[in-house]
Structure 1
């Protein structure tokens, strides 16, 4: 089917796993949620979600927040004073896709590392350590992202993460994990939530991506850390009232939608395998670790934005251009085998006609 409207809803949407929709079971959980005033500590459903995530990540406490971005920005604000420095990978979400939040909200400097598949080493951290000086910013935090979005949904090696945390603490720094897609890393690697979060002083999981919730993230750490997070939750405008309405979705997702992430990973590999032999496209199915497929279409002679436009207009398939010749496809709850086959056929057709 050919659409004359480039803004029409796609038949297959592989733009992002933020396109997940609540399932019927989740909608019922939302409807049945027991609620109270969260700010007064009276919402039993939000409290259960926070306790569940704290236990899952092996931390003392947790706080339910409206978004993953707020999880990162509040963590930076708690761990750092204005003018302090955070070390993070050069393609980190917090650096590029949070509207300058680290500087605007936490008042911090950022110093980047060129990683390997989104992760970096203790030696690379050591190479960035500044001498103690009244003229230099104080280095307070190392921030890691697991999975690494712009590296292709890649997973941090646990031993490397532990080594990085050791290097950070050696120099008096804390470690924070952006765990937006940590559930994908857990399911793909077999390493538990607590094992991944263990080397970190703070960590969070997103509910609104592969887990299928309409909103929210949950940030975990020590009791003292979370107490400070509550202050900044209010200051940043994240205070909620009957938050159990949406917290119920998180509880349902953690009980029903974690293990099924393996289906998303299988769909991503199937997509990569379906286009690996297309002239003009470069993709490595072996590099697909979780639910993301990055593929380069430079050999087709057209740009990624134009390739993306043709997919949408001519085939109603939405896949994002993330670099001049690179596109990113993301699989998630609601994408099934026929959707993958349809997308593969569309990509092949656009490449053939380019």
Structure 2
């Protein structure tokens, strides 16, 4: 059986999730009549201290709905060079939201305030309007940097001083909260809207939640319907999300411990493979360049050892720990990598 380290999206639903899905009370969600969806949305909003929430198909859908709701055609949004919204959403910012993206660099996931200030457009007849500052927490799906609330407060205030909204892609925000040992509301308080994925560290089989003010969610629900995101008896899927929120958060520390265990094992093989102090959550990036190995070779060789990893560049791979990956699996993977390198 393969040990799949490519992503925490490859998880299988827990037995409790499967039972809840089978027994869920459902209704027509488009008509606002699905009680299980309503329960999931209310639970999510309360957990993050927001007025309302909306169940969407995916993090990408939630991100694009949010940008459409917060901008006008031709506006500009500021976001990080490594962000999912900029790199892995099929150009949807341009194709669907019709906005211009202005990427800026980050250092360990953090923007320098001077870079943000430079990116904000002065109002003028020839310039687009800088409308939204987009944050991501954890930052960089190939690094998983948790960003503390005090940083978000500072950068969000800068945006608001320039009449901009603040949006947070919190796909792995539960991992950030675990790493920082802080409350979810602390990570949400300084943003106008955010989304989080039920399908990553929480191991649910479906969905992402979009959160914000009631007015924002009302508009978002309308946009969701416009782009084909309306669902009928979605309670079967929402039921798994409820179980995920109620039962899976408390075990995330296991994933973080396993990621660090993996990083230390790789460093023991060759310290050039990983930068241990950059492993903050459940993501481990491995660099084979100084060892003269291409990621394609590594990926194929590990498949023969029943291990799946994700190539993220000519010489780099990513491994993510999650529900279903044990400490024994981590040790086996490290030994397999050592064998391949030899």
Q: TM tier, shorter chain?
A: over 0.9
The 5 A counterparts of 1:144-223 are 144-150=135-141, 152-223=143-214
The 5 A counterparts of 1:1-354 are 11-150=2-141, 152-279=143-270, 281-312=272-303, 314-352=304-342
Helix, strand or coil at the partner of 1:315 = coil
CA displacement at 1:284 relative to structure 2: 2.1
Q: Do the aligned residues in 1 keep the contact of 2:133 with 2:164 (CA within 8 Å)?
A: yes
Return 5+ residue gaps in structure 1 as ranges: 1-9
CA displacement at 1:280 relative to structure 2: 7.7
C-alpha separation in 2, matches of 1:246 and 1:151: 28
Aligned residue in 2 for 1:6: none
Alpha-carbon RMSD: 1.2
CA displacement at 1:193 relative to structure 2: 1.0
1:87–1:266 CA distance, 2 compared to 1 (3 A)? same
CA displacement at 1:119 relative to structure 2: 2.1
C-alpha separation in 1, matches of 2:245 and 2:341: 39
Q: Do the aligned residues in 1 keep the contact of 2:142 with 2:284 (CA within 8 Å)?
A: no
Q: Do the aligned residues in 1 keep the contact of 2:148 with 2:187 (CA within 8 Å)?
A: no
1:281–1:304 CA distance, 2 compared to 1 (3 A)? farther
TM-score when scaled to structure 2?
0.98
Cα deviation 1:44-83 (Å, max 9, x = unaligned): 1100100011111111001000101011000000001111
Helix, strand or coil at the partner of 1:38 = coil
C-alpha separation in 1, matches of 2:296 and 2:113: 37
Number of residue pairs aligned between Structure 1 and Structure 2: 342
Aligned residue in 2 for 1:3: none
CA displacement at 1:203 relative to structure 2: 0.8
Q: Do the aligned residues in 1 keep the contact of 2:259 with 2:321 (CA within 8 Å)?
A: yes
Helix, strand or coil at the partner of 2:312 = strand
Q: List structure 1 runs of 4+ shifted beyond 6 angstroms.
A: none
Helix, strand or coil at the partner of 1:293 = strand
Identify the range of structure 1 (149-158 vs 94-103) with the bigger mean alpha-carbon deviation.
149-158
Q: Do the aligned residues in 2 keep the contact of 1:280 with 1:351 (CA within 8 Å)?
A: no
TM-score when scaled to structure 1?
0.94
